[in-house]
Amino acid sequence: MPTVPNRFALTTPLYYVNALPHVGSAYTTIAADVVARFYRLQGDEVLLITGTDEHGQKIQRTAEALGRSPQEHCDRVAEGFQDLWQKLGISYDRFSRTTDERHRPIVNQFFQRVWDKGDIYLGQQQGWYCVDCEEFKEERDLVGDRHCPIHTNRPVEWRDERNYFFRLSKYQDALLDYYAKHPETIQPSSRRNEVLSFIERGLEDFSISRVNMDWGFPIPTDPSHTIYVWFDALLGYVTALLEPDQEPTLENALAHWWPINLHIIGKDILRFHAISWPAMLMSAGLPLPGQVFGHGFLTKDGLKMGKSLGNTLDPFALVESYGSDAVRYYFMKEVEFGRDGDFSETRFIHILNADLANDLGNLLNRTLKMAWKYCDGKVPTVNPQELGPEHPLRELAETILGDYAATYKNLEFHRLCQRALSLARAGNKYIDDQAPWSLYKQGQTEAVSQILYGVLESVRLVAYLLAPIVPQLSSQIYQQLGYDREFLTTQDLAYWSTQTPQDRWGQLKPSQVLAQPQPVFQKLQSPTLVAE
């Protein structure tokens, strides 16, 4: 009987279109793509949502400064995002733009639910506003001469206006209660603690409308106000759930994929996702997303890289110089997900050469050459089970395979890379120790076959383990091992993940014809991009 696949829906933030994407936006999106690819390889039905947040004062002002209409500006920048995602191999299923005409009915219907619940009222808003965050800041959090702690280059602005408010305070206890019962919902745990202590300090209602600002949707019950950009942006996740030809109703949007399993975001927008958003959903009577993971910042000289500060690294140039797998691998391996990390081009080159060119690429290359020399260019004809459980490579591989899925599910990408690479390193050591070239000279062909099989099978497993992170490289390795180029990406994954599971020892078919050895990862040259 065919099994029904599990469903997994996840999102990146919808990025502001105040400027083209930078390496920080790429970082989150790469991580989300890795997770999506992992679940697809498990045979699950996956929906990866990314997109752009296009309303609000920040966008209106940026467009004005550039002499463009806001829509023209958004169209251009949204295209830039899509272009980068394509270059980085991001396999997104939906690109949600908050200026999409289907978004407005969803926002209106959601607003109506919250309105009917009595959670929206008119009040007076006073406070310090950071346009770059599109958020009111508490006086005690400001730095220097009233500057936002994240956007230290621009002072916050004083606001005193009549706005509609959302009754966030009403949900304080419900949120605490929910997070006590579902502690896994906010990750990593340091972020959970941060959110909990913020809630415990007391939640204040927040304004969800703006006056004198018309780049957004009007409040349905009072069109002289514009809906606050964050209220509309968070709902972009819901609009994204609609099928392309579906009528845009809230009911349709929520029917198949809701609740979303995972929001991957940076820690700058944690409160929106772990406080405002769940409270809005509670008000609308909807179940909450499974998890919010707030990762750390890529920093430059200790400050968050960002479009507003302009201290960023151009991801287009990075991909152009080094290729998408290199960029993906570096950020997943080098920065522990959840913590901050600085970028260094020298380190970038060092890690890629050490891991992918030497430990993995060379291992495959030298072993393939031996297989051509000693085994007629075929996977050695041995029964994989003859390599018993105590075989050193098999033993290590099976230990890693025992928990790699949990490692991915916990978003421990750096650990996954380390573990996969430890298998490649063990393969190199094993082949050096065994010296099959001497055994061949002594006529011990059976032993040679066994050794080469063990190493090639280990390389296959490393490629499989890393496939969500370096999809092109893994596909190339599979191809060298005699599989179709597309084996890991366009096969009927749901089928083969159950029929010929790739995450087991001994799947490499004896006698399968190998490809001619070719380097799968070119060594990178010295830094070219950033002066260090």
Residues that bind ligand ATP (CB under 6 A): 13, 15-16, 18, 22, 24-25, 27-28, 132, 265-266, 268-269, 297-298, 304-309
Q: Is 352 in the site for Zn ion (CB under 5 A)?
A: no
Q: Between residues 130 and 356, which has the closer beta carbon with respect to ligand ATP?
A: 130
Quote the strand ranges of 151-297, DSSP E: 157-166, 186-187, 206-207, 209-210, 218-219, 222-227, 262-266, 291-295
CA distances from 442 to 367, 414, 438 (A): 19, 42, 6
Sheet holding 7-16, edge to edge: 94-97, 45-53, 7-16, 262-266, 291-295, 186-187
Q: Please, which residues bridge with residue 403 across strands?
A: none
Give the nearest distance from C-beta 269 to ligand ATP in angstroms: 5
Neighbour count for residue 434 (Cβ, 10 Å): 18
Q: Between residues 148 and 431, which has the closer beta carbon with respect to Zn ion?
A: 148
Residue bearing tokens 């070119």:
522
Give the nearest distance from C-beta 405 to ligand ATP in angstroms: 25
Q: Please, which residues bridge with residue 219 across strands?
A: 222
Contact 387, 453 (CB under 8 A): yes
Q: Between residues 37 and 151, which has the closer beta carbon with respect to Zn ion?
A: 151
CA distances from 424 to 311, 364, 391, 404, 460 (A): 37, 9, 15, 15, 10
Closest-CA residue to 293 (of 196, 189, 198):
189
148's contact among Zn ion, ligand ATP, none, with CB below 5 to 8 A by partner kind, is: Zn ion
Q: Which residues are annotated as a binding site?
A: 130, 133, 148, 151
Give the nearest distance from C-beta 209 to ligand ATP in angstroms: 21
Q: Between residues 40 and 58, which has the closer beta carbon with respect to Zn ion?
A: 58
Q: Is 133 in the site for Zn ion (CB under 5 A)?
A: yes
Q: Between residues 310 and 501, which has the closer beta carbon with respect to ligand ATP?
A: 310
The DSSP result for 283-319, as a single string, is HTT-PPPSEEEEE--EEETTEEP-TTTT----HHHHH
Contact 55, 231 (CB under 8 A): no
Q: Is 130 in the site for Zn ion (CB under 5 A)?
A: yes
| Binding piece for Zn ion, criterion CB under 5 A, among 127-135, 338-346, 419-427, 491-499 | 127-135
Give the nearest distance from C-beta 132 to Zn ion in angstroms: 4
Q: How far is residue 125's CA from residue 207's CA, in Å, rounded to a whole number?
A: 7
Q: Which residues are annotated as a binding site for Zn(2+)?
A: 130, 133, 148, 151
304's contact among ligand ATP, Zn ion, none, with CB below 5 to 8 A by partner kind, is: ligand ATP
Site for Zn ion in 138-157 (CB under 5 A): 148, 150-151
Give the nearest distance from C-beta 130 to Zn ion in angstroms: 3
Q: Between residues 154 and 182, which has the closer beta carbon with respect to Zn ion?
A: 154
Measured from each CB, the residue nearest to ligand ATP is 24
Contact 426, 393 (CB under 8 A): yes
305's contact among ligand ATP, Zn ion, none, with CB below 5 to 8 A by partner kind, is: ligand ATP
Residues that bind Zn ion (CB under 5 A): 130, 132-133, 148, 150-151
